Amino acid sequence: MPKSKSKRSRYQAPSPPKPRPSPRWVAPVILSILFAGVLVIVLNYLGLIPGTGGQARNLYLWIGLGMIAVGFGAATRLR
């Protein structure tokens, strides 16, 4: 007796391979970049960065924010 259409098995695509876990050194590097960015911003506002004459500069603010953004971007790729 032939199989009915509802009883036939349907094609299932193979599941994609599982992504490899991140190396152990990635998480400490991400945290270091995040904390360094915060530290640059705080030192900028306290006027403790050498060569600025005790004045806060926007350049160091953007550097700190960039470091934080890079840290967040890398954290999204962490497995």
Chain segment 37-75, per-residue pLDDT in tens: 999 999 999 999 888 888 889 999 999 999 999 999 999
**What would the mean pLDDT of 34-39 be, rounded to a whole number?**
98
Q: Give the orientation angle of helix 58-76 with respect to helix 26-46, to 10 degrees.
A: 160
Answer for the pair 58, 71: CB distance below 8 angstroms, yes or no.
no
Query: Using H for helix, E for strand and C for coil, what is the string for 25-60?
Result: CHHHHHHHHHHHHHHHHHHHHHCCCCCCCCCCCHHH
For the chain, which residues make up each domain, given as ranges? 24-76
**pLDDT score, position 40:** 96
The predicted model scores a pTM of 0.77
Q: Closest Cα partner for 68 from 45, 40, 43, 46?
A: 40
Q: Is the pLDDT higher at 19 or at 32?
A: 32
